[in-house]
């Protein structure tokens, strides 16, 4: 029972690291990046290629993955999303084009990784870091799980505080409320958008490297599944709310663990979709979100 709880918390922390960047970009600059899962996977893949050439410790591998994620995320923003936002006739059209553009972009790194790995899982077998397992009175936890949980909590709380307290955070939240007014007040929207995408990409890379360590290996397709799970976590918590995405990630992980341990079969995949559906039906704004007003 306690073992299940620890596993659920570790799983939730992975969801959180992944969803945090997605939620940050969506809740502030309004970009729902469907290439996030692909960036997540390809950062881990980049680190894997480098680790294969040079024996590296855990910190270096994570750093490489985070940098790779940040670079890719900024590239997607500059090459795809910025032109879309410049050319789209209204925000609703832009929303949809960004969705499609993200889906298209996501296919490219996926295809490259599938090509090199022949769709087999890849892992950091050449890394100098070895996973330790601690036994605490019948409950087992690995060193990677401890790192994941600690990082998720530190980054989750840290980014939430940053958004609340710092001038940058204030500017970013003001874009989320009203982009035009915030521009008039002297917020450099383009620069802040790039900063946001950098952070989001780095978080995706971080999550990718850590999940690869945790599972031992990652499949090229794993990003696609995580995108839908992260979406569930964000919607459950409420778009734009950092506390929401933290709670949403753990709620999702615990619900999935309960279903996994209590039922036979493959029902666990239905949990995230069921949660999305239930929340949107009965509490559209999520647990922590603001209610949007729509008249028609």
From residue 239, alpha-carbon distances to 8, 24, 58, 101, 259 in Å are 23, 9, 33, 21, 25
Contact 275, 15 (CB under 8 A): no
258 forms part of the interface with other proteins (CB under 8 A): no
> If we measure between CA atoms, which residue out of 26, 155, 161 comes closest to residue 102?
26
Distance CA 110, CA 94 (A): 24
Nearer of residues 138 and 296 to other proteins, judged by Cβ: 296
15 forms part of the interface with other proteins (CB under 8 A): no
261 forms part of the interface with other proteins (CB under 8 A): no
Which region, judged by CB under 8 A, interacts with other proteins, from 55-63, 78-86, 126-134, 200-208? Answer: 78-86
| Smallest distance from other proteins to CB 277, Å | 5
103 forms part of the interface with other proteins (CB under 8 A): yes
> Residue-wise over 244-253: b if at least 16 C-beta within 10 A, else e?
bbbbbbbbbb
The site map against other proteins for 18-37 (x = CB under 8 A) is --------------x-----
Instruction: Determine the longest span between alpha carbons in the chain, in angstroms.
Output: 61
Structure tokens at 200: 């989001």
| Smallest distance from other proteins to CB 186, Å | 29
88 forms part of the interface with other proteins (CB under 8 A): yes
Taking each helix axis from N to C end, the angle separating 58-76 and 91-117, rounded to the nearest 10 degrees, works out to: 140
Binding interface with other proteins (CB under 8 A): 32, 80, 83-84, 87-88, 92-93, 95-101, 103-108, 110-112, 114-115, 224, 228, 231-232, 235, 265-267, 269-270, 272-274, 276-277, 280-281, 284, 294-296
């Amino acid at each position: 029972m306690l073992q299940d709880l620890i596993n659920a918390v570790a799983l939730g922390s992975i969801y959180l690291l992944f969803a945090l960047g997605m939620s940050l970009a969506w809740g502030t600059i309004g970009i729902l990046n469907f290439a996030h899962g692909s960036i997540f996977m390809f950062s881990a893949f980049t680190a894997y290629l480098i680790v294969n050439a040079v024996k590296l410790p855990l910190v270096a591998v994570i750093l490489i993955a985070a940098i790779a994620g940040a670079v890719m995320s900024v590239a997607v923003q500059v090459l795809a999303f910025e032109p879309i936002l410049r050319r789209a006739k209204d925000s609703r059209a832009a929303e949809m084009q960004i969705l499609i553009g993200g889906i298209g972009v996501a296919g490219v790194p996926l295809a490259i990784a599938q090509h090199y790995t022949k769709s087999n899982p890849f892992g950091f077998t050449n890394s100098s870091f070895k996973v330790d397992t601690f036994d605490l009175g019948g409950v087992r936890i690995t060193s990677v799980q401890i790192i994941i949980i600690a990082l998720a909590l530190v980054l989750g709380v840290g980014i939430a505080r940053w958004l609340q307290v710092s001038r940058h955070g204030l500017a970013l939240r003001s874009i989320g409320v009203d982009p035009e007014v915030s521009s008039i007040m002297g917020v450099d929207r383009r620069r802040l958008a790039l900063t946001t995408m950098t952070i989001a990409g780095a978080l995706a890379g971080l999550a990718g490297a850590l999940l690869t360590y945790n599972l031992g290996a990652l499949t090229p397709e794993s990003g696609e599944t995580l995108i839908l799970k992260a979406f569930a976590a964000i919607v459950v918590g409420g778009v734009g709310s950092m506390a929401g995405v933290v709670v949403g990630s753990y709620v999702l992980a615990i619900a999935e663990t309960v279903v996994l341990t209590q039922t036979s079969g493959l029902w666990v995949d239905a949990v995230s979709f069921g949660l999305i559906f239930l929340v949107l039906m009965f509490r559209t704004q999520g647990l922590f979100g603001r209610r949007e007003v729509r008249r028609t």
